[in-house]
């Protein structure tokens, strides 16, 4: 009657694989990888930029197009997202599955 009490509503600050893959293919989003440089060098989404969480500054994010943050498994990108919200940027989202899920879904990776 009231639905599944254990299901959670979608988080509007998260983007799913299909939406991110389409945005990457169409050049419709700036992907910012918040992993450390050695992780980024080992494989990243083509066209993404590296801004490690250890040096993250929300003011460094692009302002000219939507931004999606990514890390390895979603924890660091969520922390970076929280920092962007604290800085007043509410137009940024993150890919909670991270590079692990991106790779598992067959997303392109540049080394």
Measured CA angle at 59 (ends 53, 63), to 5 deg = 115
Tell me the HSE value of 70 on the side-chain side, using a 13 A CA sphere: 32
Q: Which of 71, 81, 92, 99 is catalytic?
A: 71
Q: Alpha carbon 62 to chain centroid distance?
A: 14
Tell me the HSE value of 17 on the side-chain side, using a 13 A CA sphere: 12
94 bridge partner residues: 14, 69
33 bridge partner residues: 50, 70
The reply to whether 71 belongs to the active site is yes
Catalogue the active-site residues: 71
């Amino acid at each position: 009657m009231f639905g599944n009490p254990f299901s959670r509503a979608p988080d509007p600050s998260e983007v799913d694989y299909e939406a991110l893959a389409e945005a990457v293919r169409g050049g419709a989003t700036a992907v910012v990888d918040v992993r450390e440089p050695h992780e980024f060098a080992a494989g990243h989404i083509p066209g993404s930029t590296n801004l490690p969480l250890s040096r993250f500054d929300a003011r460094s994010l692009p302002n000219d197009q939507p931004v999606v943050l990514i890390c390895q498994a979603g924890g660091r990108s969520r922390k970076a997202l929280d920092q962007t919200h604290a800085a007043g940027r509410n137009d940024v989202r993150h890919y909670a599955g991270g590079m692990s899920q991106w790779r598992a879904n067959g997303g392109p990776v540049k080394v």
